Amino acid sequence: MTATRRLDPPERYRFGGTVGPLLVPGHDPCGTLTGTDLWLAARTPDGPGTLHLSCAGELIATGYGPGADWLVEHADAFAGLRDDVRDFPALAARHPLVHQLARTFAGLRIAATGLLFHRLLRAILEQKVTGVEAFRAYRKIARKFGEPAPGPVELLLPPDPDAIAATPYWAFHPLGVEQRRTQTLLRAATEAGRLARAIDPADATRRLVALPGIGPWTAAEVVRAVFGDPDAVSVGDYHIPNTVAFALAGEARGTDARMLELLEPFRGHRGRVCELLGHGGHRAPRFGPRMPIRSFARY
């Protein structure tokens, strides 16, 4: 089964920068991005499917499998075209750097998948470890639990939450995930159906943080990607408070409280400002050693 839809991107649309965050950096068994083409496997409410977004001249969405119609119907959200930026330029003008970044990256949008568990899996794996550790564990879990996705490209469907929930915690240790994150993942998988019924970012945040092991950081990472929430700020992040403090106030170090204070003038788009600082390459100076990269599979 296939379905196709033509989409109308905004002026100066940045395809790669918009849809790139849908994939784990390096290699994602569930998707691939090459130049003007995104392929993404998904477990939709209608069944498994694969979405192909092609941005060569015009933006065309094609869906494959039982979930094809659902994916094509939501393709504009995956492509970030439901992201409303109309009031952002006025807010961005409140700080010269944010104003500059808003103009430079005017074609960037925040994508929204509407599929909660896949992004929650990734966010839980990213808790309190380096990106290298988290992405390595994600790839191992995707290969262990994934199934072939429909369509002409060889991809794996994201892990089924029921399969995750039915797996004992010790089976995740060889995959590079220690007991604490595994227990959080198992609780999330058990509650996946209830979490998926969230109607908006606020509702999803309430449901997420009610689960032990999930705090504001994890909830923000999820709702920004699932609902395209431009205001979601990853409170508790290792780097972002320093980045915001340095970029907006010239302060080498910042707390969560200071970060939120500096972002307050941009309320409604605070998460977007953080994303723009990242796209602009802004980083606070480093004074101490980097977090070590570990392998829990060898412990």
Query: 157-195, pLDDT tens digit by residue?
Result: 999 999 999 999 999 999 999 999 999 999 999 999 999
Q: What is the dihedral sign for C-alpha 125, 130, 136, 137? A: negative
d(CA 131, CA 297): 16
- Residue 48 carries which DSSP code? E
d(CA 270, CA 216): 15
pTM of the model: 0.92
Considering the segment(s) 116-197 as one domain, its CATH architecture is: Orthogonal Bundle (1.10)
Per-residue pLDDT band at 238 (split at 50, 70, 90)? confident
Amino acid in position 288: G
| Cβ-based neighbours of 103, under 8 Å, separated by 6 or more | none
Per-residue pLDDT averaged across 219-230, rounded? 98
Phi, psi of 180 (to 5 degrees): -60, -50
Query: 25-65, pLDDT tens digit by residue?
Result: 989 999 999 989 999 999 999 999 999 999 998 999 999 99
